[in-house]
Amino acid sequence: MSHVRLVNVTKRFGAVTAVNDLNLEIQKGECFSMLGPSGCGKTTTLRMVAGFEDLSEGEIHVGGRLLSSRAKNWYLPPEKRDFGMVFQAFAVWPHLTVFENVAFPLRIRKLPAAEVEKRTKDALASTNLLPSAEESPANLSGGGKQRVALARALAINPDVMLLDEPLSSLDPHLREEMRFEIRDLQRKYGFSIIYVTHDQAEAMALSDRILVMKLGVVQQIDTPLNVYNHPVNRFVFSFIGLSNFLSVTRADGAFQLAAHSELLPQTLNPPEDMRRHETLSLASRPSEVDFCGEGGLRGVVARKSFLGEIVDYQIKMGEQELRVQKNRRAPGPDVGESCGLRLLRPFWYEGAE
């Protein structure tokens, strides 16, 4: 049985529909990410679950409890939902010690002093903050401050943890370290996570499942592997990972790159059900393109950049460009050289780029 359930949830701000008829089920102990560009509705959805925004339509249930329902005129305030919450802003108080920052929500609940002490120390130990318990958070690094925010959320023993871009203000190394710490904490305590981010790598590394949103509408809900390997539409393909799109046109039953006289190789023709269209988009991942001799697309290397373990190529093909990424140890052409290209896993979409 699902632990968190959203039924026909809609949120409007005046004439703007921020979230449109969202149906969603999240399991107990699942790490579920909501991914999409700014303005897609992911944070608004999280705020409705948290209780900071009421619904325009629909219902939200968690653990068998009804939290919000427009039709039933029911709304449970945030402080009674017992969720752990971590936001992009660390929201730690510099005038309180690390210990008191973490203990604060427990004191607000008027728990016995002994229980406050135990829960706070357990949360600090889980986030490796016990040695800093009596320090001011002002003395901690960005990662340390984020651990304080996590410990404070853990201290209330939540069934559900809500995280809204919690790592975006950290540097890349700390961000990578913290995402694995969050996952370890989730596995240890068994709470469900609803994680909002626009960072694809973060969502892929953390999630059991990912929801991809666009303009308030769900595009795809699936495992990270399936979202990457089997995107349901062009938007999902373009948003998850690096992507190439080439415009293809049909003339006299044959297909060629737009503004380019060379016909596509027979091995690269679109599937039968798409050949009636005059214009198509041919999509590929830069990491799924090989250099080849004969039989591939032809282009000229316009740029070659060394990026550590990979070499990034920009290939000109008439007026269009294709990006290719290969291991630095693999042989490849130099700038100005002609090359052949074989798309290992092409995707086709209707319409031009």
What is the pLDDT confidence band of residue 306, given thresholds at 50, 70 and 90?
very high
Q: Summarize pLDDT for 34-53 with one digit per residue, the tens.
A: 999 989 999 999 999 999 99
CA distance 165 to 303: 34
Is-contact 239 224, C-beta < 8 A?
no
CA distance 243 to 195: 24
Nearest to 102 by CA among 45, 154, 163: 154
Q: Which residue has the tokens 């999240």?
A: 26
DSSP string of 300-329, one letter each residue = EEEEEEEETTEEEEEEEETTEEEEEEEETT
Counting Cα atoms < 13 Å in the Cβ hemisphere of 33 gives: 26
What pLDDT score was predicted for residue 1?
Answer: 54
CA 237 to chain centre: 13
Tokens of 60: 């939200």
Nearest to 159 by CA among 239, 64, 231, 232: 64
CA distance 324 to 334: 13
* Amino acid occupying residue 278: E
Nearest to 349 by CA among 246, 222, 204: 246
Tokens of 16: 């703007």
CA distance 3 to 123: 24
Tokens of 87: 């936001």
Domains with residue ranges and CATH for the chain: 4-233 (3.40.50.300), 242-350 (2.40.50.140)
What is the pLDDT confidence band of residue 352, given thresholds at 50, 70 and 90?
low
- Other Cβ atoms less than 10 A from the Cβ of 95: the count is 9
Q: Summarize pLDDT for 111-154 with one digit per residue, the tens.
A: 999 999 999 999 999 888 999 999 998 888 888 888 898 889 88
Residue 295 has pLDDT above 90, yes or no: no
What is the pLDDT confidence band of residue 246, given thresholds at 50, 70 and 90?
very high
Residue 89 has pLDDT above 80, yes or no: no
Is-contact 228 241, C-beta < 8 A?
yes
CA distance 100 to 319: 61
- Average pLDDT (163-188) is 83
Mean pLDDT of the chain: 90
